[in-house]
Amino acid sequence: MSRVGRFLRSVFLADILRGLAVTLRLYFSRKVTVEFPEKVQAPAERFRGLLRLHRDENGEPLCIACKACQRACGQNCFDIEGKKEEGAKVMRPTKFDWKLDRCSFCGLCVEVCPTNAIRHSHEFLLTGARKEALFFRLDGMYLTGEALQDHLCGGCRRDR
C-alpha cells in the first residue's frame, strides 16, 4: 500500500472500524458457549463419563462378578470378589472396589462386560476435596447425580 493510502486509512480509522464490525457481528451471532456452572450443557451421546454399575428393570444387579473388567483394565483400577449364594443362578459381587484416580476412561472394561453391567455415564463433574473420594466401593458404584457429587466432594456443595 502506498504512503498516501496508509495515511488515508489511518485518518479514517479504517482498521478500527473493521475491528468494531467484527465485534458487533460476533456480539449478535448465536452463542456457542454457556455460563458454566450456572448453565450446564449436556455432553455428547458418546461421551465417556464416570463408570457406573447398573441394575436390570427389576432392580437386580447386572454384575455377575466375572472379573472380565478387572482382567481387561490395564490401570489396575478394580478389585472384585464374588460369591454364588445357595440356590442362586449367578454369582454376585461381594466386593467391587474401583479407583477413579487410576482410570484413563479407555472403555475396555465396558467393552468386555458380558452383562452390560458397567457403562460410561454422562457424569463429568469430577472435582473433589478429598483423595479418598476417588475410591468407590460396591454401593458407591450405583451413585449418580447429586448423591455422586456429594460422595466426590464430601458435602462441599452444601458449604458453597
The dihedrals phi and psi of 134, each to the nearest 5 degrees, come to -85, 5
Helices (H), 78-142: 108-112
How would you class 72 by CB atoms within 10 Å of its CB: exposed for 0-12, middle for 13-18, buried for 19 or more? Answer: middle
118 in helix, strand or coil?
strand
Contacts with ligand SF4 in 86-105 (CB under 6 A)?
103-105
Q: Is 121 in the site for ligand SF4 (CB under 6 A)?
A: no
Q: Which three cell numbers stand for residue 10?
A: 489511518
Q: What is the smallest separation between the CB atom of 102 and ligand SF4, expressed in angstroms?
A: 7
Q: Is 141 in the site for ligand SF4 (CB under 6 A)?
A: no
From 18-26, 31-39, 61-69, 122-130, span contacting ligand SF4 (CB under 6 A):
61-69
CB-nearer residue toward ligand SF4: 103 or 126: 103
Q: Is 67 in the site for ligand SF4 (CB under 6 A)?
A: yes
Q: Is 13 in the site for ligand SF4 (CB under 6 A)?
A: no
Q: Is 107 in the site for ligand SF4 (CB under 6 A)?
A: yes
* Beta strands 135-136 and 118-120, pairing class: unpaired
Spatial separation of the C-alpha atoms in residues 39 and 115, rounded to whole Å: 35
Q: What is the smallest separation between the CB atom of 106 and ligand SF4, expressed in angstroms?
A: 4
Q: Is 50 in the site for ligand SF4 (CB under 6 A)?
A: no
Q: What is the smallest separation between the CB atom of 26 and ligand SF4, expressed in angstroms?
A: 39
Spatial separation of the C-alpha atoms in residues 97 and 62, rounded to whole Å: 16
Q: Which three cell numbers stand for residue 50?
A: 464416570
Binding stretches for ligand SF4 (CB under 6 A): 51, 63-69, 72-73, 75, 77, 80, 103-109, 112-113, 115, 117-118
